[in-house]
Amino acid sequence: MLEIIRIPVLSDNYVWLVHEPVSKETMVVDPAVADPVLAEAEKRGWTITQIWNTHWHPDHTGGNAAIKEATGCHITGPEAEKERIPTLDTLVKGGDTVRLGDVTAQVIDVPAHTAGHIAFYIADEKTVFVGDTLFAMGCGRLFEGTAEQMFDNMQKLSRLPGDTQVYCAHEYTLSNGEYALVAEPDNQALKERMKKVRDARKRGEATVPTTIALETATNPFMRAASVNELAERRTAKDNF
């Protein structure tokens, strides 16, 4: 069983520190910064051996160089964004696999937020690291891609087992949920979820990871019935 630690950084980012206890390998997903990540690993007696990047944005790669300098770790990320992430050692694309000790992850292409965005799906651990593609009750902004691509991403991810844990990179749940209530005002599951989210945030608690099942029930972007509906909802959320 992987040990996955949430490290809150910047204003609303989450960096994921992932330890595989058999091999004792430790990996970081999308390190925005280095110091809190290195400190958390040191506190636990873990040595960081890898970084996995989902996309090039600086709040996902900003810690790469310093962590690599401190640990000599190996950095894997999207082949399509190699020019934007100069610290990469291994380039991957959809259909490739990467390993952390005895654990294998499948790379899934999920372009739209950025042109080469990828996700890492670990079937045996029922875990997927989605970067800024899928959020709790939300999806990433369409900075470098299209609504068609994001709709396809939502369909791909919705086909994963419902109990898959979804590790996204931001605490956007409350604002996403407020928009979701506008998009689907009659969704009872959504209303019930938002009560829990509001209470959790009042207590200062994180609301991720989420699950595929929870998102298929309450996420207006995953629930969009067509590309046009997703596009309309994305535009509405951008202006919400």
Q: 25-29 and 13-20: which strand pairing?
A: antiparallel
Give the catalytic positions in this structure: 55, 57, 59-60, 113, 132, 170
In this structure, what token pair is assigned to residue 172? 């956007």
Name the residue with tokens 């979701």: 180
- Sign, CA dihedral 193-234-240-61, equals positive
- C-alpha to C-alpha distance for 228 and 82, rounded to whole angstroms: 31
First to last CA, the chain: 40
DSSP code at position 34: S
Name the residue with tokens 């929870």: 214
- C-alpha to C-alpha distance for 32 and 15, rounded to whole angstroms: 7
Look up residue 130 and give its amino acid.
V
**Contact of 56 with 143, CB cutoff 8 Å:** no
